[in-house]
A and B are shown apart, each in its own frame.
Chain A
Amino acid sequence: MENYKYVLEYNTSSFIDSDYIDDALKYAWKATPSKQNFMPYKVHVLSPEAKIHKQILYNKALKQQAKTSGVKIKNAKALQKYDERLKNDDKQPFFRNLKTAPYVFIFAQRVEDQPNKVQQDNINYGRTYCQTDHSDPGHTQGKAIARIEIGMFSANLATYLLANEIDVSFTQCFPGDIETWSEKEFDFLDDNVLLIMTAGKGKLYRRDLKSQELDFKPNFERIIRKEV
């Protein structure tokens, strides 16, 4: 992950072999552990051809940003106006990489309906698994587990891709609730969206525009606490 740099724009003319992305995903699937082997998530992979999907994703993220910042967006025209205002003010969102990314990975929650032999045996013996619950409280608990494990899966995927000079970026600015994903382009989704990740050859990076002297992470000592 030392090669990680947040991408603002991807190079849309750079070709990435789809077999390579497939290998990276297989590797991440194989190498990522999961609590009780449930892997309570799905990774929906959008290919370079899915341009409309990516524009919709950008619009969703933009609307979410506006909502979080207290800007009311009533319709598509208002959203476009908001987008233009950000552009004119040189405040374009970082997640604009969604529009140019050759590959987009949408991580969504997954409820297990085919427990493996060990899991089923344990259920029969009195154990409860939130990863098999479609209703709350189990479903919400399963979502929390899925998020941590998605972090691990995406870290493995990123590691594989970065080691081979393919850039990645993460986006968490979007509405997660499945009810807000009603567009026909996303009818493959059947549960909450938890993370969006992009991959491709970077053309413009965040650090090209923002000095790391101004935009830094918290000091090591503020994150790691020794309780010995």
Chain B
Amino acid sequence: MIKDILNKWKFVLKFDTEHRTDTDLIQDIMHTAWKTTPSKNSFMPYSVHVIGPDRPDLKKIVYNTAAAKEKNSNSRNPNEDQWEVNGNKHSILTAEYVLVFCPRAEDSPSPWQKHLHSGGCYMDAWYEDKLQKYRATILVEVGLFAKAVSVLCLEQGLHTNYISSLESDLKYWEELDFVKHPPCLIMGIGKAEYFRRDWLKKIGWNKGDHKPKFESVVKFY
């Protein structure tokens, strides 16, 4: 049951750095996520950059963008920032695979997209300089894709997490030449060694950190 699978999701604080996943399995997961994720006008206006287990150097660069975000963000709090970089972000360094989701302009539209365009439809997704305006759509679709990857990983006994706290300004990403537009999301994949909720339990905070009540989030009319 999909319900059982999704209920297995837990944020990974540390991945098992010794574990190696069959590369064909990762390829298959990514392919199925690509196949099953819907997209407005079939644009899929994003690219997913997959950093494998042999590139800790690239993962370190990705981690640095997340760490920078936290420092920059906390500087807005009038209280003195006493925090080390959030431990959640260290999971980027231990994940076997790290996915970086970036906006993508369509340079090879489908016949249907061309047909829409010739009929007067305007499409931000075609233009590099309009992707920022189109980001609202991109972010939702990245969420849909990332969720599909998670479900497929959980089915195979793999674990995932998400880091959306990252500096998206390109100056932080200069060392990664595949990043052409401000990234949207970082995702880690691997075999979990330690979950966040285990750590919370250990420090006695497991009951204090809950999501908002169902009624606060879902409203019926």
Contacts and interface: CB of A to CB of B under 8 A. Distances in A.
B38 to A, nearest CB: 5
Interface residues of A, number: 84
A228 B55 contact: yes
Interface stretch (A9-17, A55-63, A72-80, A213-221): A213-221
Contacts of A126: 74, 77, 79-83
Contacts of B137: 172
A130 B83 contact: no
B143 A228 contact: no
B34 A170 contact: no
B214 A26 contact: yes
B34 A224 contact: yes
A225 B139 contact: no
Nearest to B3: A27
Interface in B119-156: 119-122, 135-137, 139-148, 151
B219 A217 contact: no
B50 A4 contact: no
Contacts of A91: 119
Interface in B27-69: 30-31, 34-40, 42-44, 46-55, 58
Interface of A: 1-2, 4, 6, 22, 25-27, 29-35, 37-39, 41-47, 50, 53, 68-71, 91, 110, 112, 114, 116-119, 121, 123-128, 130, 138, 141, 144-145, 147-156, 159-160, 163, 170, 172, 176, 188, 194-195, 210, 214-218, 220, 222-228
